[in-house]
Structure 1
């Protein structure tokens, strides 16, 4: 499940993710990404993971489609989560994109929000 968080930064998509992510969850991102791209800005992300269980198969494929079509449109990303693999995922994302991607532990969420400008 994805819960969108309020932010005053117009090119930032901020979310809390819990449990397993579905295709319907991922499809909620696309109009937000398109809206930001219409302002000629890079899309930035603040992603906070709580008891994240990954994606169902359709959600995984939908995420790949959106990311592959917009990967060059992404700016900075703050990934907040308490698991070691969350840190590895942030490092892998940083490696494959021109974006700056940083991992923060859950206790560091205030620092993550400050870094991303939330």
Structure 2
């Protein structure tokens, strides 16, 4: 499940992710993107991930569809976590073409915002 939080930057979506990601979460994110960004407009994501227990099958499928649909719009992902497994996943995502991803600790929130604002 995740919650979309208010953002200090109009080109950054801020989300708090916890427990399991569901199909409803993926659809909610896609609806949010559609409501705030044009189809050719890029955006960043700042994700707080204190704990994650995977994804439902529907969540995985719907999330994959959103990722494919929005792939060219994703610019930077800043993930705030203290979980080693989530850090590894984020670092691996940074190797995907066209995507920049960085991991930050909770006490590095300003550094995350600064990185997201860099061109």
In the superposition, the TM-score normalised over structure 1's length comes to 0.87
Q: Tell me, yes or no, if the aligned pair for 1:72 and 1:97 is still in contact at 8 Å.
A: no
TM-score normalized with structure 2 length: 0.86
CA distance in 2, matches of 1:96, 1:39: 21
Query: Structure 1: where are the runs of 5+ without partners?
Result: none
Deviates more, 1:107-116 or 1:39-48: 107-116
The residue that corresponds to 2:26 in the other structure is 26
In structure 1, the residue matched to 2:114 is 114
Aligned pairs, number: 117
In structure 2, list runs of 5 or more residues that go unmatched. Answer: none
Q: CA deviation at 1:40?
A: 4.3
Matched position secondary structure for 1:52: coil
Q: CA deviation at 1:21?
A: 1.2
Which structure has greater strand proportion? 1
> Over aligned residue pairs, what C-alpha RMSD do you find?
1.7
Give distance in 2, aligned partners of 1:7 and 1:86. Answer: 22
